[in-house]
Amino acid sequence: MNNTLMNDEAQKKSVLTPDQDYYKDIFHQHANDEYAKAIQLAQNRVTDFLKNNQKPFSGIRPDEMKSKVENVDLDIPLPDYESLLNEADELYVKHATAYHLPEYIAHLNCPVVIPALAAEVLISAINSSQDTYDQSAGGTFIERKLIDWTSKQIGYSENADGIFTAGGSQSNLMGLLLARDYFSLEYQKWNIKLDGLPPDASKFRIFVSDKAHFSNHKNAWILGLGEQAIIHVGVDARYRMDPKQLEKAIAKEIEKGNIPIAITATAGTTDFGNVDPLTEIATVASRHNLWLHVDAAYGCGLLLTEKYRYLLNGIELADSVTIDYHKSFFQPISSSAFIVKNKLHLNIIKHHADYLNPKEQNYDALPAQINKSIIQSTRRFDALKLWFTLRYMGKEKLGQYTDTIIETAQQTAAYIEQDENFELLCHSDIGVLVFRFVNGLDQSNYCNINQYIKEKLFFSGEVLVASTKVNGKFYLKFTIFNPLTTLNDIKNILKLIKQNGNDYQQLN
C-alpha cells in the first residue's frame, strides 16, 4: 500500500483517497472524521448507560455472562461502529456495575468527576508516554507539579518527590522496596540491587496491623522476603494499630533474632475506614530506626478537607506514602502515586538504559520520569486527569465531597445503632461501616442469614453491599463513597436488608 501524501484535490475536500481509506482506523492527521464519528457514537453509549442503568447491577449470573462472551468469534470483525457498540452493550455496558448509583455501596469504587473524563479523551488519543521528556514534554512537568502539590498536602518539604503509579498496591510495593534496600545499604552496607538479597534477608520483619491491606503480604513475597516477614500487630477497639502492641511486637522479633526493617501504617483501613495513630507509630519507628510507610490509598481524601484533615496528623513523619487518586480523589482508574519524603531515596530505583535514559545524561536539563518508576516503562499520562480536576473544580470542592461522605457515614452509623435489627461493629473515621442483621433468636445462624441477604441483593441487582469476616464471623459492609448518597437512600437499603433477613427466617 502506498501511503504517501494526499493529492491536492483530496486535500481540498478532506476526503480520504482509497489508500487512506484503508488506513482510516489509524489515529492520524487525515482521520479526523473517522475519529469524531467513533468517539461520538461511543459517547452516546455512555450517556445511554447513565439513562438506562437504573440499578447498580443487572443481576446476570456468571454462567450466562460467560457464554455471551464465549459466543463471539474474534476472527470475524464487525462491519461498523453501530454493531460494535451494540455488541459491547450486550457483553458489557448493560451489565456493568454502576458505581455512581446510591444503591452501589459495596467496595472502594468512587463515582468519577467529569473533568477527569474530559482529560481521558486527550490522554488516550494523544497517548503520551511518561517515561522520558522526548515522549511527553509538558506531561513530565505536569506530573511533577502534581507530585509536588501532593507532597505539600502531606506536609513534606521541597525535598520530597514521587511518581504516578498504576495503583495503591504498586505504591505500597515501592514503599517496601525502598525500605528493604535502604535498610540493607544503610545498616548492612549491602547493595540488594546489585547483589541480591543479603544472607539474613529471611530475618527481615515488616510490621502492619491486623487490618492492613493484603498487598503488604503479596509485596513481601514479591520482594523475596516471604509472607513470613509480615508481623501482624494487634488493634484497638476501632481496628487501628495499637502502638503499645507494636512496641511489644518489635521487641519480640528482636528477641527472636529477627531484624525489623519497616512499619506500614494504614491511613483508612479497607474494612473499617479508620486511621492508625500515625504520630505515635512514627515515634516508635524513629526509636527503632524503622522505615515508616503510610498506606493512605483510601484515607488520602482527608488531605483535602479542612474539617477532618487532623485525622492524618503525623502523616508528614512517614518516609513514604501511598496515595490512590482513583479512590478518594474521584478519579477514573488508574490514578495513584507513591511519594517519598527524601527524594534521594528514589535513586535506589534508577536504572539506566542506553537507548532511553543513559547514565551520562543531565537529568536536570532533560528529565526522565522513568528514573523513578519501578516496573512501568511505558506509562499513561494519568496525571492529566488530576490536573483537569484541580484546575476546573479546585481542591476545596473535592474536600467538601469527602466531608459530605464522612457526615453521611456518621448519620448512618447512628441510624444502624438505634435499630435493634442490626449490630454495628464499629464507627468509621471515613465511610466504611461493618454490621450485621441480628433479628432472630438463633445466634448460630447470623452468618448464614447475612450471607443470604448479600447474595439475594446482588443477584436482584437492586443493591450491592460488600461483606467481610471479623473473627471468623460474616458481616455486611457498607462503603459510603458517593457524596450524592443520602441517609434516606441508605435507609431504603437497610429496609431491603431487613426484608431479606426476615424472608430468610420464614424460609428456614
Ligand X SMILES: *Cc1c(COP(=O)(O)O)cnc(C)c1O
Stretch that binds ligand X, among 10-18, 133-141, 164-172, 491-499 (CB under 6 A): 164-172
Instruction: Tell me how far the alpha carbon of residue 506 is from its chain's centroid.
Output: 41
Number of residues near ligand X (by CB under 6 A): 15
CB of 270 to ligand X, least distance (A): 4
Specify the amino acid at residue 190: W
Q: Does 357 bind ligand X (CB under 6 A)?
A: no
Nearer to ligand X, 163 or 497 (CB): 163
Residue listed under C-alpha cell 487525515: 30
CB of 256 to ligand X, least distance (A): 28
Distance CA(287)–CA(291), nearest Å, equals: 11
Nearer to ligand X, 478 or 504 (CB): 478
Nearest to 152 by CA among 298, 309, 384, 270: 309
Phi then psi dihedrals of residue 432, to 5 deg = -115, 125
Angle between helices 383-392 and 114-126 (to 10 degrees): 140
Phi then psi dihedrals of residue 293, to 5 deg = -105, 130
Nearest to 238 by CA among 32, 457, 10, 428: 428
Which residue has its beta carbon closest to ligand X? 168
CB of 295 to ligand X, least distance (A): 5
Q: Which one among 190, 204, 239, 298 touches ligand X, defined by CB under 6 A? A: 298
Nearer to ligand X, 201 or 425 (CB): 425
| Cis-peptide, bond into residue 58, ω within 30° of zero | no
Q: Does 167 bind ligand X (CB under 6 A)?
A: yes
CB of 267 to ligand X, least distance (A): 8
State the binding string over 252-291 for ligand X (x if CB under 6 A, else -). Answer: --------------x-x-x---------------------
For residue 230, give the 3-state DSSP assignment.
strand
C-alpha cell, 56: 447498580
Within residues 324-343, the interface with ligand X by CB under 6 A covers 324, 336
Half-sphere exposure of 30 (CA within 13 A, CB side): 20
Nearer to ligand X, 212 or 368 (CB): 212
Specify the amino acid at residue 493: I
Within residues 466-495, the interface with ligand X by CB under 6 A covers none
DSSP string of 250-289, one letter each residue: HHHHHHTT-EEEEEEEEBS-TTT--B--HHHHHHHHHHTT
CB of 233 to ligand X, least distance (A): 15
Q: Which one among 103, 143, 242, 295 touches ligand X, defined by CB under 6 A? A: 295
Which residues does residue 464 pair with via DSSP β-bridges, in sequence order?
104
Nearer to ligand X, 161 or 295 (CB): 295
- Contact at 8 Å (CB) between 264 and 291? no
**Contacts (Cβ under 8 Å, ≥6 apart) of 53:** 93, 94, 96, 98, 101
CB of 181 to ligand X, least distance (A): 21
CB of 171 to ligand X, least distance (A): 8
CB of 15 to ligand X, least distance (A): 46
Stretch that binds ligand X, among 13-21, 295-303, 399-407, 468-476 (CB under 6 A): 295-303
Phi then psi dihedrals of residue 128, to 5 deg = -60, 150
Nearer to ligand X, 297 or 312 (CB): 297
CB of 97 to ligand X, least distance (A): 15
Nearer to ligand X, 95 or 218 (CB): 218
CB of 175 to ligand X, least distance (A): 11
Nearer to ligand X, 268 or 461 (CB): 268
Within residues 80-109, the interface with ligand X by CB under 6 A covers 108
Q: Does 402 bind ligand X (CB under 6 A)?
A: no
- Contact at 8 Å (CB) between 313 and 285? no
Residue listed under C-alpha cell 475519529: 35
Phi then psi dihedrals of residue 421, to 5 deg = -75, -15
C-alpha cell, 146: 502534581
Q: Which one among 297, 303, 413, 457 touches ligand X, defined by CB under 6 A? A: 297
Stretch that binds ligand X, among 41-49, 166-174, 344-352, 424-432 (CB under 6 A): 166-174
CB of 449 to ligand X, least distance (A): 27
**Contacts (Cβ under 8 Å, ≥6 apart) of 177:** 219, 223, 348, 349, 374
CB of 213 to ligand X, least distance (A): 3
Length of the chain: 508
Distance CA(335)–CA(351), nearest Å, equals: 24
Nearer to ligand X, 132 or 270 (CB): 270
Nearer to ligand X, 102 or 268 (CB): 268
- Contact at 8 Å (CB) between 60 and 95? yes
Within residues 105-124, the interface with ligand X by CB under 6 A covers 108
CB of 487 to ligand X, least distance (A): 24
State the binding string over 213-252 for ligand X (x if CB under 6 A, else -). Answer: x-x-------------------------------------
- Contact at 8 Å (CB) between 230 and 208? yes
- Contact at 8 Å (CB) between 94 and 53? yes
| Chain contacts with ligand X (rule: CB under 6 A) | 108, 167-169, 172, 213, 215, 266, 268, 270, 295, 297-298, 324, 336
